[in-house]
Structure 1
Amino acid sequence: MKELIEYILQFGNLNQQQINLITSNVIEIELRKDEYFSEAGKISRQVGFIVEGIVRGCYYNNKGEEITRCFIPENNLVVDYLSFESNSASAAYLQASTDCKLIVFSKQLWDELSLTIVGWDIIKNKMIQKCMYQLFNKNPMISKDATTRYLEFLDNYPSLVNRVALSHIASYLGVTQQSLSRIRKNIR
């Protein structure tokens, strides 16, 4: 719980009573590797904070191929925010790439905090902005060659390479698993 509060306090101030309100109403959950935090076709009804593990965002393209869009490591929020805020079906999946421990806000709690804690909307908006920035800023540029994309992946996610499936990394980079193996062999 300490990690969540430290994360929130980066974006604004809370007094002890407000912290207690949050910590007494969130729940802790565990996801096993490959379980979903949210699924395409369903409405996202929770915001999570990853205490341990890695979640990946993925979707299926029109050819039925699974595409990894992002990886979300520890000490970050995880949410399909468009689905969550618009109360509409998601187009993507948020799936545990490793066993995960999360602290979860229900939709009801997330909304009630705006009514209960002065300044929560500002804190919430800053947290979501960071979440969105990380999502879109770390997505590989397809216009770059595959080796450059892999090297940028290593810079952006140095601790992930040995923790997530190579097939997910290859999908994220837009290359086949065989190409990724060749790239990895050539840069050692």
Structure 2
Amino acid sequence: MDELFGYLLQFGSLNQRQLDLIASKATPLALLKDAYFLEAGHVSRRVGFLQEGVLRICYYDNKGTEITRNFIDELHLTTNLRGLEEGLASPEYVQAVTDCRLLVFAKHDWDGLAHTIVGWSDMVHKMTSKHLNEKLARISPMVTQDASTRYREFLDHYPRLANRIPLSYLASFLGMTQSSLSRIRKNIR
């Protein structure tokens, strides 16, 4: 629970009573490798805080090719934001790349915190903004970079992830084939 509290306190101040309330709403969840936290076509009804492990966000394009869009590692939140807020079915999957431990909040409990904790909505807004900015910072350069540069930047920004995720997922995320990524890795070593 301390990891969650540390994460939340980056975005605002909370007293012990508020932290206890938040803790009372969180449910531990163990997710085995390859299991889904959220499946495409389902409406997100929970928010997860990843304590241990790696998740990936993926979808299938119109040719049926699986595309990895993002990775989520420890000490980050996961949900389908549009689905959570608007009740829309998710177009993507959130899948465990490794065995994972999460703290999970049901949507009604997460929303209920805004009615109980002054400033909670502002904190959630700050969390969402930080996540979106991180996503843009990661995706924007990928459009103009060559494959080797994309891989090197991934290693620079996410050194703890490179050896924890399958090569096929990383290649998909970086927008290249697995054999291209293998060649790049060989040349970098």
Same fold (TM over 0.5): yes
Match of 1:101?
101
For 1:115-126, list aligned pairs within 5 A. 115-126=115-126
**Shift >6 Å, 4+ stretches:** none
Partner of 2:157: 156
Q: What is the match of residue 90 of structure 2?
A: 90
Aligned to 1:132: 132
Q: Distance in 1 between matches of 2:105 and 2:127?
A: 13
TM-score, with normalisation over the residues of structure 1?
0.97
Structure 2 counterpart of 1:26: 26
Q: Is the 8 A contact 1:43 1:89 kept in 2?
A: yes
Determine the C-alpha separation between the residues in 1 that align with 2:15 and 2:9: 10
Question: Comparing 128-137 with 47-56, which one deviates more in the overlay?
Answer: 128-137
Alignment-derived partner of residue 146 in structure 2: 145
CA deviation string 1:101-160 (max 9, x = no partner): 001111001110011111110111111112222233223613311001101111121011
Deviation digits for residues 13-38 of structure 1 (CA, Å, limit 9, x no counterpart): 11111111010111010111111111
Amino acid corresponding to residue 42 of structure 1 in structure 2: H
Which letter maps to 1:70?
Answer: N
CA contact (8 A) 1:142 1:174 kept: no
Count of matched residue pairs: 188
Whether contact under 8 Å (1:68, 1:171) holds in the other structure is yes
CA distance in 1, matches of 2:84, 2:76: 17
Q: Distance in 1 between matches of 2:143 and 2:187?
A: 20
Range with bigger deviation, 175-184 or 142-151: 142-151
When normalised by structure 2's length, the TM-score is: 0.96
Q: Hey, what does 1:14 align to over in structure 2?
A: 14
CA positional deviation for 1:6: 0.7
Please, which runs of 5 or more residues in structure 1 have no aligned partner? none
Structure 2 segments unaligned to the other structure (5+ residues): none
Partner of 1:174: 175
Which has the higher mean CA deviation after the structures are superposed, 90-99 or 135-144?
135-144
Map 1:51-66; keep pairs closer than 5 Å. 51-66=51-66
Q: Percent identity?
A: 55
Report the Cα distance in structure 2 between the residues aligned to 1:51 and 1:7, rounded to whole angstroms: 11
- Counterpart CA distance in 1 for 2:138 and 2:159 is 12
Root mean square deviation of aligned Cα? 1.0
- AA matched with 1:156: H
Kindly indicate whether the alpha-carbon contact (under 8 Å) linking 1:51 and 1:101 is maintained by their aligned counterparts in 2. Answer: yes
State the match for 2:188 in structure 1: 187
